[in-house]
Amino acid sequence: MKLGNTRQAIHDALAWGYLQTGLVGIGEYLVYLTRVEKSMTRKDTNVDFMEAGYVCAAINVLAPHLGGWLKFAYGPEDLALIQSILAAKLRFDLFPLGSAKRHIKLLSLSSVSLEDYRLRLRRNREMPVTVYAERMNVNADNWARDEWQNKRDVCLKTIMNWDREGVGQVSRMVKSLRGENNDGERPSEILSDLRTT
């Protein structure tokens, strides 16, 4: 794998397993928008497998919401189950009280916020307010007045913190695999350390 920046390494590692299903050539470009196999030497699948395995292991030992976010944001598949779990965590962590009707709106807000932040990461574009309003079944004209704007901003800030923390932790593993780790930590030592934090 080409271990450039951490976000690309996360994407490539998560896509590695999907690549093994038999996609080759143009199929890779159509599904992943890139070729995933980028060994140091041509077709050295052992090195790719080890690097992808270590990066995926680092993702899997993180706190469940951080690992889930990285899989949802950088993985090649649209994971609806993970999105619903993350949305529920956002909703109950940020807005613990509310009526049944408000609960549905807040859960929808949290779910769309996850998609919005992923869109911002991948395409540098943000989700229009009308999409939020439609999915939440609220009036887009009263979006700011009803304080949905503030709630959306709180959701996005929380997701941004999840992203920074998750990518920061996996970055230690990527640096170790590139041989740039100043402490000389081996990948297995980093996994043990991530497990305990």
Whether residue 179 lies inside any domain: the answer is yes
**Model confidence pLDDT, tens digit, residues 163-176:** 999 999 999 888 88
Whether residue 177 lies inside any domain: the answer is yes
Q: What is the pLDDT of residue 9?
A: 87
Instruction: State which of 88-92, 93-97, 137-141 shows the largest mean pLDDT.
Output: 88-92
Q: What is the pLDDT of residue 177?
A: 83
Is residue 81 located within the same domain as residue 158?
yes
Q: What is the pLDDT of residue 21?
A: 56
Q: What is the pLDDT of residue 4?
A: 78
Is it the case that residue 158 has pLDDT exceeding 70? yes
Whether residue 1 lies inside any domain: the answer is no
Is residue 105 located within the same domain as residue 118?
yes
Whether residue 136 lies inside any domain: the answer is yes
In contact, 15 and 22? CB cutoff 8 Å:
no
Determine the average pLDDT of the residues in 181-193.
79
As a whole number of Å, the end-to-end CA separation of the chain is: 27
Beta-carbon contacts of 159 under 8 Å, excluding residues fewer than 6 positions away, are 69, 90, 113, 114, 117
Q: What is the pLDDT of residue 10?
A: 87
Q: What is the pLDDT of residue 190?
A: 82
Is residue 134 located within the same domain as residue 174?
no
Reading the block at residue 137, the tokens are 């079944």
Is residue 36 located within the same domain as residue 101?
no
In contact, 166 and 69? CB cutoff 8 Å:
yes
Cα 195 to Cα 197: distance, rounded to the nearest angstrom: 6
Determine the average pLDDT of the residues in 55-63.
90
Whether residue 57 lies inside any domain: the answer is yes
In contact, 21 and 182? CB cutoff 8 Å:
no
Q: What is the pLDDT of residue 128?
A: 93
What average pLDDT does the chain have?
83
Q: By residue range, what is the domain housing residue 17?
A: 6-63+167-196
- Nearest partner of 162 among 85, 50, 47, 100, judged by Cα: 85
Contacts 24+ apart (CB under 8 A), 116-121: 116/152, 116/156, 117/73, 117/156, 117/159, 117/160, 117/163, 118/72, 118/73, 121/7, 121/73, 121/163
Is residue 156 located within the same domain as residue 100?
yes
Is residue 113 located within the same domain as residue 140?
yes
Could you tell me where the DSSP H helices lie in 5-147? 6-19, 26-32, 45-61, 64-74, 80-94, 100-123, 129-136
Confidence of residue 19 (pLDDT cuts 50, 70, 90): low
- Nearest partner of 180 among 10, 3, 42, judged by Cα: 3
Determine the average pLDDT of the residues in 38-66.
76
In contact, 185 and 169? CB cutoff 8 Å:
no
Is residue 90 located within the same domain as residue 18?
no
Is it the case that residue 181 has pLDDT exceeding 60? yes
3-state secondary structure string across 103-141 = HHHHHHHHHHHHHHHHHHHHHCCCCCHHHHHHHHCCCHH
Task: Domain count for the chain, please give it.
Answer: 2
Confidence of residue 28 (pLDDT cuts 50, 70, 90): low
Q: What is the pLDDT of residue 6?
A: 87
85 or 190: which carries more pLDDT confidence?
85
Is residue 159 located within the same domain as residue 100?
yes
Is it the case that residue 41 has pLDDT exceeding 60? no
